[in-house]
A and B are shown apart, each in its own frame.
Chain A
Amino acid sequence: GAGVSQTPSNKVTEKGKYVELRCDPISGHTALYWYRQSLGQGPEFLIYFQGTGAADDSGLPNDRFFAVRPEGSVSTLKIQRTERGDSAVYLCASSSGPGDPFNSPLHFGNGTRLTVT
């Protein structure tokens, strides 16, 4: 079946602009994660949704970052007033839910490479 889909795959924007990154999880997956990864670093946790609600948004770096998942499926990560330091690969992952974690590993999308000039 279809995997996690992220669009766009690449986004170049100017400093100060607003961007939206989209994630379409695997059908039926209730858990959705956003991570940010810089070169040479591991994925950095941003926010985790269980269904429509954000179960944990402690990783969002500041109030310029916001994410929604209004119908419990597609999620959008929104970044206002982008800064050069926001440049990174933004990864989305979904899983079948918190049940048995050994049987619900994360499935990642290909990521969106954001470049702020």
Chain B
Amino acid sequence: RKEVEQDPGPFNVPEGATVAFNCTYSNSASQSFFWYRQDCRKEPKLLMSVYSSGNEDGRFTAQLNRASQYISLLIRDSKLSDSATYLCVVNGVNRDDKIIFGKGTRLHILP
């Protein structure tokens, strides 16, 4: 099993719809999780951290399910500007461990 797995998509979603995607991770002892956004030919940028209790930032909600070892990202009322690749990121078990990125899920918001 790969360390971090994501459905590559693409997800083609009409503007205004709600879309959600998951990311699974293999190391049950992983401590912290993030979602990054990457626009075409640009560098990744932090979208949000994923806390154990779940967290919400405007139209974006991130959740962690430790029992099933996955994190999720939900986007409500999607905008054209949400079109991007969403990267799942898992921090290591120990403080000095490397940070692992998933391959990303491509999202296309359709007008």
Contacts and interface: CB of A to CB of B under 8 A. Distances in A.
A20 B63 CA distance: 40
B99 A42 contact: no
Interface of B: 6, 8, 31-32, 34, 36, 42-46, 49, 51, 87, 89, 91, 95-104
Nearest to A35: B101
Contacts, number: 57
* For the complex of A and B, 9 pairs with smallest distance between CB atoms: A108-B43, A98-B95, A42-B103, A101-B32, A105-B46, A42-B101, A43-B101, A42-B104, A56-B98
Contacts of B6: 42
Interface in A57-105: 58-59, 91, 98-99, 101-102, 105
Q: How large is the interface on A (under 10, 10 to 19, 20 to 34, 35 or more residues)?
A: 20 to 34
A102 B49 contact: yes
B44 A45 contact: no
